[in-house]
Structure 1
Amino acid sequence: MTTLTIFFCGTGSNKFDDKHKNFWDGEIVSTLAAHHSGREFAEWIVVDGPGSGNLQADDLFTKTSEYGLSGTLFGKGWDENVQHALNIIKGKCDWQRKQLTEAEYNRLKAAGIPIEDVKEEGSWFWRQYNYGDRSITQQKLQEQIIKTFRKDGIIPTRVNLLGWSRGGISCHMLANAMSRDAALKHIPVNIFAIDPVPGIGNFQENRVKLESNVKEYIAFYARDERSKGFSCVIPQTATGTRTSIYPMAGRHATLAGNATALGGEPTNSGDLNALIEPGRIVRHLAETCLKRWGVPLSKTLNLTDTELRRLTGAIVSDEARYKKMHSQSYTYFTELDKGERYVSLGSKGVPFSAVKGTIYRPATGLTTSLLDISGYQHLR
């Protein structure tokens, strides 16, 4: 039996953001992925977010393009990310990077490996270089890791998904793609989403609705975000899906571990860890759920109820500082709905506090008091 966990980074974020300068103790998705103590590719993968620079392009199990700014603005590239994740689940690539890069060629040459000399093609003005083919592709190496280290067959017995921002929406997209795949639709899926935001024009059904293969859905939403175009999604879940949603103080990045006073780039060294409490709480609860779902993690926070109360108490004491975030925007414009953040309940726009009801645990939904840590008992 193999539990596979897939970590989806947010827009512009990547696998190496556990050391990003804007996050005092690491961006949450890349940090949790780095703390997975299992075998990469066989038991876990981390997928860079749209607009993150295509650092993983040569390693993906499906071919992608360089989308640049369109990845940041419109999420271009996340369909390929989902297909890559599907292929990883099945342990079979549909594309391989067969040609060597210049860096790989130079490294092999320097090591004295007998490979063909670089070939020059075209005129001097349109000169191109062919560095030859890889003898073994990255994809084939990773396929072999999957074949060797997945227990009792290549197809995993459980899939956990965790993502922030468009990475959270990517979790929705992948779960729905699995539900439509005859080889994968039987696999139980668990999702932990952190302020899932699709961006303008990206509220299609596969991003705002989940099927019955999702057994548990947990999400935290940034109460103090007001950026226009940052409407978060509370998905429509299937009957029988255990659904828990929670508000958290701070902006979109605050929940992912950005602890600056205004939820953006730090203004000075002291600003880097000005408001650490929301990120600590979300990370602790994400770790709690992942461990319950069979994920081996190292360096976990293991907060006690007393420590949780101290953190939530500090948030309440800093309420005035969180209210200052309401005038900030990642897109230069802000928007309100009855003085609150505008959110998408399925595909319907509603005010933040309208999202509650008996389909959720706790039933208070996004009106749950931050001081009520008993609301987290469903996550343990």
Structure 2
Amino acid sequence: MTTLTIFFCGTGSTKFDNQNPTYWNGELVSTLASHHGGREFAEWIVIDGPGTSNLQADELFTKSGDYGLSGTLFGKGWEENVKHAINIIKGKCDWEREKLTEAEYNRLKAAGIPIEDVIVEGSWLWRKYNYGDRSVTQQKLQEQIIKTFRKDGVIPTNVNLVGWSRGGISCHMLANAMFKDSALKNIPVNIFAIDPVPGIGNFQEEKVKLNANVKEYVGFYARDERSKGFSCVIPQTATGTRTHIYPMPGRHGTLVGNAAADGVSGPKALAEPGLIVRHFAEVCLKRWGVPLNKTTNLTPTDLQNHHNAMASAAAKYKAMEKCSYTFFTELDQGERYVSLGSNGVKFSAVKGTIYAPATGLTTGLQDVGAYQHMG
């Protein structure tokens, strides 16, 4: 039996953001991945977000392009990320990087490995360089890790998905892709999503609706985000899916560890939302069978103190609502505009008995007991 956990980074975010100084204690998704105690590829993977210039392109199990700005603006590349994740689940790539890159060639040469010299092709004006072939590709090495270390077969018995921003939407997309795949349809899926935001024009059904293969959905949503084009998605879940959603003071980046007063840059000022979200991500992952090397282990007293601190800083969080990542802000009767499934509504409209707690995004800052529903 193998539990596989897939971490989807947000737009412009990578697996290396656990060391990014923009986040005072590491960006949440990449940091959680770095704390996983299992074997990479067999038990966990982390996937860079759209708009990261495809730094992982050589390692993907499917071919991807370099989408650059279109990745940042429109999410280009996340379909390939989902396909890569599907292939990782199945333990089989559909593409390999067979040619050596210049950096790899130079590294092997420097190490004294006997490889052929660079082949120069074309005229001096249109010169091209062929650095040779890999004897073993990255993909084949990773396939072998999967075959060796997954227990009782390559297909995992459970899949956990963690994602922020477009990474959260990627969790929705992957869960739906699994549901449509006869080999993966019956694998139980758990999702922990942090402010899933698809961007303008990206509210198709596979991004806003989930099927019965998702057994539990936990979502945290940034109450004070007002950037135009940053409507978050509260997905329509299937009957029987345990669905927990929580509001959190702060902006989109605040929830994953950016503690700046404006949610963008500056000294650590408002760290409590990120600490709370991290704690409950760890709580859920451990409950879902994930070994973690480092955890925050907040006590009930710690949680209460953090909530008291957020309440005391109410004016600072309110000031965040004037900030925008896209230069423009938007409001719905003074609240954040969100997508409930495919319907646009105001933030406080998202509540009801389909959620636990039923107060949904209206849950008050003093209601620390609302977290017990995740237990």
Aligned to 1:275: 270
The reply to whether residue 190 of structure 1 matches residue 190 of structure 2 is: yes
Gaps of 5+ in 2: none
Calculate the TM-score normalised by the size of structure 2: 1.00
Query: What are the equivalent positions in structure 2 for 1:104-253 lying under 5 Å apart?
Result: 104-253=104-253
Aligned to 1:59: 59
Aligned to 1:33: 33
What SS does the aligned partner of 1:45 have? strand
Q: Return the alpha-carbon distance in structure 2 between the equivalents of residues 319 and 89 of structure 1.
A: 43
Say which of 359, 363, 371 aligns to 1:368: 363
- Give, in angstroms, the shift of residue 123 of structure 1: 1.1
What SS does the aligned partner of 1:38 have? coil
Q: Return the alpha-carbon distance in structure 2 between the equivalents of residues 297 and 378 of structure 1.
A: 22
Calculate the TM-score normalised by the size of structure 1: 0.98
| Aligned length, in residue pairs | 375
CA offsets, 1:114-162, max 9 Å, x none?
1111001111111110000000000000000000000000000000000
The reply to whether residue 339 of structure 1 matches residue 328 of structure 2 is: no
Gaps of 5+ in 1: none
- Give, in angstroms, the shift of residue 352 of structure 1: 0.2
Aligned to 1:327: 322
What SS does the aligned partner of 2:160 have? strand
Structure 1 stretches of 4+ with a deviation exceeding 2 A read: none
- Give, in angstroms, the shift of residue 111 of structure 1: 1.4
Q: Return the alpha-carbon distance in structure 2 between the equivalents of residues 141 and 369 of structure 1.
A: 49
CA offsets, 1:273-304, max 9 Å, x none?
11100000000000000000000001100100
Aligned to 1:21: 21
What SS does the aligned partner of 1:16 have? helix
- Give, in angstroms, the shift of residue 195 of structure 1: 0.1
Aligned to 1:295: 290
CA offsets, 1:244-272, max 9 Å, x none?
00000000000011000010022xxxx2x
Aligned to 2:305: 310
What SS does the aligned partner of 1:6 have? strand
Aligned to 1:350: 345
CA offsets, 1:156-182, max 9 Å, x none?
000000000000000000000000000
- Give, in angstroms, the shift of residue 243 of structure 1: 0.3
CA offsets, 1:22-67, max 9 Å, x none?
1000000000000001000000000000001211000000000000
Of 332-341 and 101-110, deviating more is: 101-110
What SS does the aligned partner of 1:327 have? coil
- Give, in angstroms, the shift of residue 370 of structure 1: 1.9
The reply to whether residue 378 of structure 1 matches residue 373 of structure 2 is: yes
CA offsets, 1:51-107, max 9 Å, x none?
012110000000000000000000000000000000000000000000001011111
Q: Return the alpha-carbon distance in structure 1 between the equivalents of residues 256 and 276 of structure 2.
A: 10
CA offsets, 1:337-374, max 9 Å, x none?
00000000001000000000000000000000122111
Q: Return the alpha-carbon distance in structure 1 between the equivalents of residues 18 and 302 of structure 2.
A: 23
What SS does the aligned partner of 2:321 have? helix
Q: What is the RMSD of the two structures over their aligned residues, measured on CA atoms?
A: 0.5
Q: Return the alpha-carbon distance in structure 2 between the equivalents of residues 283 and 370 of structure 1.
A: 17
Whichever residue aligns with residue 285 of structure 2, its letter is L
Whichever residue aligns with residue 237 of structure 1, its letter is T
